[in-house]
Amino acid sequence: MLRAIWLTAQNEARLLVKDPTVLFMLLFAPVVIITVAGYSLGSLYGGAANSFRLPVVNLDRGQISDGMIDALRREPNLTLEMLDNPDEARRLVSQRDRTPVAIVIAAGTTAAVAAGRQPRLILFVDPVRRVELNALELRIGELCRRVTEQARSAAQTQIESFQAPQMLTLPGDLGFVEQPAVEGEAVSVNAFDQYVPGFGVTFLLIGMMLGIALTLFDERDWGTLKRLRVSGAPLTGLLLGKLFARIVVGIVQMALLFAVGWALFGITLGRHPLALIIPTVGISFAAAALGLVVASISRAHDSVMPLGVTVSMAMAAIGGCWWPLDFEPGWMRELARWMPTTWTMQAFNDLMIRSQPPSAALRPLAATVGIGIIFLGAGLIRFVSLDD
């Protein structure tokens, strides 16, 4: 019995060592995911926080607004960008990365505070970046309280020095009110608005990579690929045919997920639900093409699973499928530009949460398809060279 166990274990080790891809991926996969997650979520657990741009429009130009701006300037993770036009501030929030909120200090704010009223700063917000927004709003609220306390303290001193309290009014409180930066109807975001497309894309990637790669290995192992090649059918045609079928499956998969998300979790599908097909087609194509790459570099069936899952999960994580991109450090955000997942999530967020028109998804589509074409070219070249 012990002999059988020992000999079997030895042979298993031999088999494992003979397939370095599996060995490498078994060890490498967790390292990749831990690295991505660690860097992305590091700021949540006390690491260095990411910095944000903060557009500010000061229409007040009074003591309160100046005090507020000074306080904001002293915040270590904020870079203020002073603007004259509220529309410009709104546009920056809706379009620019790292700008989850803009502040408009309305004319007469200082006078209103001095008069004991409770004026409100206008915060143009990007509803997609709810997590970052909450942190920033907490800080802005704290600064508002500090500025008004200073004003109140100064007024109190003044009252005491005049010895005539009945003649003066204590300053009021400064607060803020949110306004969505995007045009159109105001949207209320729930967690599923982020998670349905995010995890939908993740599983699309995994399914596509494993599906494409394994079916190609099956065709090889079954010998059917050889028989089809004899018919004179071009290998490229056979591969593209397989990819096309999988892309259709991917589109159906995402459509089903959105339908379930809408019916069960009340996710918003934006003003043009049919436009969701645009990023869906893009990511299905890119994922299928990447599946071809995985198939072409995997040495055997067993290599497909660790390689495909590692690539899928890393790409999903870096591309913002699991958490907002703003969580990630700068170098990872740069890397994310080369991920189809990044552009796809941007398009989904624009269409669903920011209620943008379908045209907003065209640039991300072009980027996703462009990356997909690179994958496709690499996969085809590698596969055809293997066939030769």
Partner 1 sequence: MSLADAPILEAIGISKSYGTRLALDNLSLALRPGEIAALLGPNGAGKTTTLSILATLLRPDRGRILIDGKPPENDRRGLGRMLGLVPQSLALYPTLSAAQNVWHFARMQGLSRDDAKARCKQVLEEVGLSARAGDRMHAFSGGMKRLLNLACGIVHRPPVLLLDEPTVGVDLQSREQILTRIRRYADTGSAVIYSTHYMEEAERICDRVLLIDRGKLIAEGGLEKVVLLGGGRPRIELTYRGRLPKGRFDSLAGVREIGATGIEGNATLEMNSLAQVADVLHGLRTLDVNVIDFNLHSPNLSDAFIALTGHALRDQLL
- Residues lying near partner 1 in the complex (CB under 8 A): 222-224, 226-234, 388
**Residues 6+ away with beta carbon under 8 Å from 46:** none
First-to-last alpha carbon distance for the chain, in angstroms, is 47
Q: Is 145 within 8 Å of 134 (Cβ atoms)?
A: no
Shortest Å, Cβ 220 to partner 1: 11
Which CB, 163 or 231, lies closer to partner 1? 231
For the sheet containing 120-125, what is the strand order? 78-83, 52-58, 101-105, 120-125, 175-180
The answer to whether residues 293 and 377 touch, using CB atoms and an 8 Å cutoff, is no
Closer to partner 1 by CB, 165 or 237: give it.
237
Pair 235, 383: CB distance under 8 Å: yes
* Shortest distance in whole angstroms from residue 249 CB to partner 1: 16
Q: 95, 346 in Cβ contact below 8 A?
A: no
Q: Would you list the DSSP string of 201-220?
A: HHHHHHHHHHHHHHHHHHHH
Shortest gap between Cβ of 215 and partner 1 (angstroms)?
11
CA-based angle 325:281:262, to the nearest 5?
70
Q: Give least dist CB 230 to partner 1, A.
A: 4
Minimum distance from residue 308 beta carbon to partner 1 (Å): 21
Nearer to partner 1, 167 or 230 (CB): 230
Cβ distance to partner 1 smaller for residue 161 or 231? 231
Residue closer to partner 1, measured from CB, 235 or 378: 235
Q: What gap in Å lies between CA 223 and CA 218, rounded to an integer?
A: 8
242 or 272: CB nearest partner 1: 242
Task: Give, in degrees to the nearest 5, the angle at Cα 343 between 334 and 185.
Answer: 120
Q: Which is nearer to partner 1, 233 or 366 (CB)?
A: 233
3-state SS, residue 77? coil
